[in-house]
Amino acid sequence: MTKSTHDDSLIISRLEQKELSNIKFFSSRSEFFPLVTTVLLKPIFGTLPINIGLHLHLIGNKIINARVDRGYYHQAMEQTFEALSPHDAIIAIGRINIKAPLFYQVTLMNAYLSLLDEKPIHAPRMLTSAMEIVRAYHHLNVVQSILLCAELETLATFAGECELFLKQPFTLFSRIFSTSSAPEPMSSTEMSVAIAEALQRVEELSHAINLEEQLVKRLSRKGILTQALACSWGLSGHYIRANRQYYDLRNRELNLYETPIKVSATDGGDAYARFTLRIAEIIASLIYVQHQLTVLDNFSPLTIESNFLAGAPTDRYAVSEIEGPEGIIKASIFVNDKEQKVYRLRIPAYYIAQAIPQLVRQSDLRDLTILLASLGITAEEIDK
Amino acid sequence: MFTSLKNFIDSRLGRGIVLDDFSNDAGFFIRISSHNLLSVAFFLKNDPDLRLALLDQIILLPPGFLWPAENSYNEIVYQLQSIKLPYRVSVTIIDDGKRMIQSLTSLYAGAEWHEDELRAQGCNIEESGENI
C-alpha cells in the first residue's frame, strides 16, 4: 500500500492493487527466427506490486528458452536490519515469508547468538518441533497447489483437510513472537490429537497420490536438474536430495536435532522426484514431532524479550544456517571497528527463481503452471 | 581433512595465492588477489579434497568491514560450500577499481544475478556473456 503525506487520493486498497496487477500477456514473432514466438508473463508470483515476470521463447507450445524479468531488486530487508535492535530485526524478518517465517527468524536469531557468543535461548526439542510443524504445513500447502494445477481436485481438497488439522499448531509455532503479542498455548492433549490426525491423513494422502498416474505424467521428466546443475545454480534442499544425495543440515546440526530426523532421497532430479520428497518430508516431520511429544509437556509459543541480546558483539563475523523447507537459509552478520553491522541473507527462493529458465526449458507451455507451483516460493522471498 | 585452508592451497597451488587467513569457528575465511579469483574458484570447486560445488552467496561489503578503515575499497566475499565434505569457505577480494574482476558464471551459474547486482552497485566485474 502506498501513501503520500500530502495527497490521500494516492492511497489505494489492496483490492485495487490486485486489480491493477493483472497478468500481462505480450506476444511477438521473432524477426530472425519466424518460428519462435516470444511471450512475456508478468507477474508469475502473487499479485503484490513485486512484478517478477518470465520471458518465454516458444516454438509452438514448446518452451525453448526463458528468462526471468525480476525488475528492481530491493534488498530493503537487509538494509532495514542495520537500524533495528536484534529483537526488532528478528520480528521484522518474518515479513519475508508470512507463510513460514519461523525459519528466517531462527536463522537470524542464531546468527545474533553466535555474534555475541551466547547460548541458545529455546530448548532444542521445542525449537525443532516448531520448525518441523511449520515445515510440514508449508509442504502441505505446496502439495495442495500442485494437485490443483494437476486438476486433481479431490486430492487437493484432501490435502487441504490435512492442513486444517495442523492449522492450530502452525498458528502457534509459525513465528517467534514478542512477549507482549504471543498467542495462547496449546495443551499437550490438543497437540497430540492434532499431530496424530494430521499424520494419519497425510499417510492416506500419500497412498492415494501413489496410485495417481496423471500426476506422474504431469511431473515426471519435467524440470530436471542434475546434482551438478543444482549445485551450480546454488540450489539445495530437495533439489540435491532428488539426486540421491542425503544432504540435509538437520543431520549435521546435532546440537539442535538431538534425535536424528529421517532424511529421504530419491533419484531422477525431476519435478516428480521433488514432489515425492515433499510428501516423505511431511511424514518424517510429523513422526519426529510425535516422538518429541512424548517428552515435551509445554506448548507455549516461542518468544523473545524486547531487550534480547542488547550487548556488544564479540566477533566480527557470524553466520547461521538452517535447513528451510526449500533449501538452506543463511544469515551472515559482518561487524566493523565502529560496531556497524552489515547483514546478508541467503534465501532459497532467490536461487530457485534464478534457475526457473533451466527448469522450464524444453517443457510444454501447459506444464508451466504446475512447474511454477511446485517451486514453493513467493515473490517477497525473491525480492527480500 | 585439513585444519588450515591457507596451508592446503599453498601446497596445491603454490605460496602467495592466499594473502590472509581469517578462519574461525564459522568456517574458513581467506583473502586472495582479485586476479586469482577464477583460478582459485576453479580449484576450490574441482579439487577432490574440497569439492566446493555449491555457491552460497556473493556479498559486497563497504570499505573497512573486514580490513582496517584506511582501506577505501569495496570488499567482495564469495561464500562456497561442499555437499559431500564438511567445508564452508569464504573467499574475499578487494575491488580496487583498477582491474576487471573475473565473472564466476562459467563455474557457478547462480553467480549471474549476484554479479548483476554488484555491477549495479559499482563493482568492476566482467560481463558473463550472452544473456538468454
What integer pLDDT is reported at residue B76 of this predicted model? Answer: 92
Residues 6+ apart with CB under 8 A from A32: none
What integer pLDDT is reported at residue A8 of this predicted model? Answer: 52
The number of helices, as runs of H, and strands, as runs of E, in chain A is 15, 9
Alpha-carbon distance B53 to nearest alpha carbon in chain A (angstroms):
6
CB contact under 8 Å between B79 and A316, yes or no, is: no
Alpha-carbon distance A295 to nearest alpha carbon in chain B (angstroms):
31
Cell numbers for B30, please give them: 581467506
What integer pLDDT is reported at residue A317 of this predicted model? Answer: 82
CA distance A30 to A37: 6
What SS3 class is residue B99? coil
CA distance A82 to A23: 35
Q: How does DSSP classify residue A282?
A: H
Of A247, A337, A351, which is closest to B69 when you measure between CB atoms? A337
What integer pLDDT is reported at residue B88 of this predicted model? Answer: 86
Of B26, B66, B108, which is closest to A232 when you measure between CB atoms? B108
What integer pLDDT is reported at residue B99 of this predicted model? Answer: 84
Alpha-carbon distance B6 to nearest alpha carbon in chain A (angstroms):
19
What integer pLDDT is reported at residue A46 of this predicted model? Answer: 57
Alpha-carbon distance B99 to nearest alpha carbon in chain A (angstroms):
25
What integer pLDDT is reported at residue A262 of this predicted model? Answer: 87
Q: Which residue of A has its CA nearest to B84?
A: A247
Residues of B in contact with A328 (CB under 8 A): 56
Residues of A in contact with B66 (CB under 8 A): 316-317, 334
Alpha-carbon distance B117 to nearest alpha carbon in chain A (angstroms):
8
Q: Hey, of B29, B31, B57, B105, which one would you mutate to test binding to chain A, going by the most A CBs within 10 A of its CB?
A: B57
Residues 6+ apart with CB under 8 A from A297: A188
Residues of A in contact with B59 (CB under 8 A): 332, 334, 342, 344
CB contact under 8 Å between A234 and B55, yes or no, is: yes
CA distance A120 to A269: 36
CB contact under 8 Å between A234 and B112, yes or no, is: no
What integer pLDDT is reported at residue B101 of this predicted model? Answer: 92
Alpha-carbon distance A186 to nearest alpha carbon in chain B (angstroms):
37
**Residue reference for cell 500442485:** A146
CB contact under 8 Å between B109 and A355, yes or no, is: yes
Question: Mind listing the pLDDT tens digit for each residue in B28-66?
Answer: 889 999 899 999 999 999 999 999 999 988 999 888 777
β-bridge partners, A333: A318, A343
What integer pLDDT is reported at residue A103 of this predicted model? Answer: 93
What integer pLDDT is reported at residue A68 of this predicted model? Answer: 86
Of A66, A67, A231, which is closest to B53 when you measure between CB atoms? A231
Of A240, A245, A342, which is closest to B61 when you measure between CB atoms? A342
What integer pLDDT is reported at residue A1 of this predicted model? Answer: 37
Above pLDDT 70, what percent of chain B?
Answer: 92
Which regions of chain A are under pLDDT 70?
1-37, 42-51, 71-76, 253-255, 380, 383-384
Q: Which residue of A has its CA nearest to B80?
A: A234
What integer pLDDT is reported at residue B94 of this predicted model? Answer: 87
CA distance A71 to A45: 13
Residues of B in contact with A247 (CB under 8 A): 83
Q: Which residue of B has its CA nearest to A78?
A: B59
Q: Which residue of B has its CA nearest to A345?
A: B57
Instruction: Please name the helix (run of DSSP H) or strand (run of DSSP E) that holds residue A310, with its range, or none.
Output: none
CA distance A332 to B33: 23
Residue A92: name the closest of A304, A287, A258 by CA.
A304
Name the average pLDDT for chain B.
86
Helices A124-149 & A271-293 angle (0-180, nearest 10)? 150
The beta-strand segments (E) located in A179-257 are none
